[in-house]
Amino acid sequence: MAQRVAIAGATGAVGTELIKLLEQRNFPMTELRLLASKRSVGKKLPFKGEMLVVEEMTPDAFEGIDIAYFSAGASRSLEFCPAAVRAGAVVIDNSSAFRMDNGVPLVVPEVNPEAAFDHQGIIANPNCTTIQMVVALKPLHDAAVIKRVVVSTYQSVSGSGAAGMTELEDQVTDYAAEKPLTNNVYPVQIAFNVIPQVDVFIDNGYTKEEMKMVNETRKIMSAPEMMVSATCVRVPVFRAHSEAINVETEKKLTADAAIKLLQNAPGVRVKDLRKPGGYPTPHEISESFETWVGRIREDISVENGIAFWVVADQLYKGAALNAIQIGELLLSRKG
């Protein structure tokens, strides 16, 4: 069933990926309406051989729309999502605005697809780091019940938008030219460095990004008792996030059993060769739809534990692709 689709925040990093992926996946549409703030009105963006003009996002801009993809930030989502719902659209929101709202499903189609149909007009897209982790956790949890997760992330600068990518590029250029390095996006130099802080600190010593992984994982997995601890780190990589994950399970899983489970899991690609280069890296998997898993081994520090490495393109699976997959899931019920 062809849909009338709007993208709110069409000129941003995720918005432009949404446009590209809607075309690439041949999403059934009769109209694509591009919306953004007043300063972007009149810009033209390519779609299926045409140049679509960006319109201003206003409460009335969603009239006649069936699916509205929001990637304009939490404040804009809070302001405009209710108007889109009143206009009759189903909102798929990429911001943090509604993720922990009890009345809003938080959906990763490979993990909790049924939740998408229990909405009241808004479906939330999880945080990028959470999405790729739960895709890999799901088959292991179903087989052996995960009790505890410890994750360290290695997050690319594109997670900070275009400004983060520009800052890294400028610092590398200035370093090569032996010029002083300046930083505006990050609190310290990002080039040739790692920063153990993503988002702001909160009272318990964790950052907001780290607590998103804790709370969103429990909600998506319907596992409120699951223990999760995260350390989120920004690294000088342009695109795709990586994660080192250790899980403790109720039942014993061998490494071979975990590999087979992951090989058969939807949305997962396993690259697990115990030799140099026999694992996924962010450079090689950029613009890939799958969540890649490697370095799968038994955790020798606990009785029932598995350690593994997960890499995914956070602009695709971690944002735009997951949102489109939610839309595809909704349409699958409509026939």
| Cα distances (angstroms) measured from residue 197 to each of 94, 180, 287, 318 | 22, 23, 25, 19
- Which of 81, 119, 141, 241 is flagged as catalytic? 241
Beta bridge partners of residue 69, listed in sequence order? 7, 92
d(CA 185, CA 166): 9
- 232 in catalytic set: no
Nearest to 117 by CA among 319, 279, 329, 335: 329
d(CA 16, CA 100): 26
- Which of 81, 128, 141, 232 is flagged as catalytic? 128
Query: Judging by DSSP bridges, how do beta strands 3-8 and 29-36 pair with one another?
Result: parallel
Q: Where are the alpha helices (DSSP H) in 25-154?
A: 74-86, 128-144
d(CA 140, CA 137): 5
Q: How far is CA 91 from the centre of its chain?
A: 17
- 81 in catalytic set: no
Residues in the chain: 335
**Catalytic positions:** 128, 241
